[in-house]
Amino acid sequence: MAGLVSARANPIYSSHNLRRSPLPRPMASRALEIPYKHPAIALRPSKSLSFVAASLQPSKTISAGQFSNTLPTEEVLNIWRSAGAVCFDVDSTVCLDEGIDELADFCGAGKAVAEWTTKAMSGSVPFEEALAARLSLFNPSLSQVQDFLDKRPPRISPGIAGLIKKLMAKNIDVYLVSGGFRQMINPVALQLGIPLENIFANQLLFGSSGEFIGFDAKEPTSRSGGKATAVQQIRKVHNYKALVMIGDGATDLEARKPGGADLFICYAGVQLREAVAAKADWLIFDFEELITSL
């Protein structure tokens, strides 16, 4: 694909102060990563505080006893406290929003794309099919992505910064494993102090004139089971004795498998996906639960 814009030209994304050599990422140099211009966590000026507060509530009212996994077992607590690494989903977990939905909304295709996101997160369609379908609905250009990042900085979930700070203070490594895009996740990592080498996510690809030409299909997170593959790679390279995955969707649940995550914690503080929540080892609605249990 000659004519692609270089991904690593900006010095803000150099690998200084990173703790490890990154795992191989095919074609990573072929997608543009956009400098982040908003170091402070901010709410979008177009949304009221009442809207933000409402967005933190699960999508459905929880009845007493609906789930049996809101209190962790002793075994679950032991794994959580002994973990050498914690992998976080980004959209609707670390951040309040689904990044691709927000970008689509900014580009005028929000409703149609959000419907596909619901299918992807519930596991009702293959993730790669949903990803391609969503992008084809609005084909974001480089200039649109840059404008989006300027005008809609990421909204970080309450409590996540404190949790990540405490994990790092205990020398527990933190990773972001997402079906979203590096261009939108790098700013989140920078805010939270997570090394950019610890991001495993997809790449938007642009031509030499900034036109959208697709996404890197060789990234493991671009397809169903991809998060599980990424987590297995992380564990194999670093030989963690225990590893935890935290997220809200079916693709996060998939990461709990032999050689991958020992524990799946479902965070339902933004979106409650009942089929996923029911299968979690531990269901939480507030990151403070994890902070106090460490």
Q: At 28, which helix (H) or strand (E)?
A: none
CA distance 237 to 19: 13
pLDDT > 70? residue 69: yes
CA distance 25 to 205: 14
CB environment 220-229: b (16+ within 10 A), e (fewer)? bbbbbbbbbb
pLDDT in tens, 157-178: 999 999 999 999 999 999 999 9
Percent of residues, the chain, with pLDDT higher than 90: 69
Percent of residues, the chain, with pLDDT higher than 70: 78
Q: Which tokens in the block code for residue 12?
A: 């803000």
Neighbours of 283 (CB within 10 A): 24
Which residues form the catalytic set?
Answer: 89, 91
Q: Which tokens in the block code for residue 88?
A: 């976080």
The band of 30, judged by pLDDT with boundaries at 50, 70 and 90, is very low
CA distance 182 to 189: 10
What's the pTM? Answer: 0.78
Rounded to 10 deg, the angle between the 110-122 and 99-106 helix axes is 170
Q: At 173, which helix (H) or strand (E)?
A: strand 173-181
pLDDT in tens, 181-230: 999 999 999 999 999 999 999 999 999 999 999 999 999 999 889 999 99
Nearest to 195 by CA among 216, 179, 173, 221: 173
Nearest to 282 by CA among 51, 81, 71, 111: 71
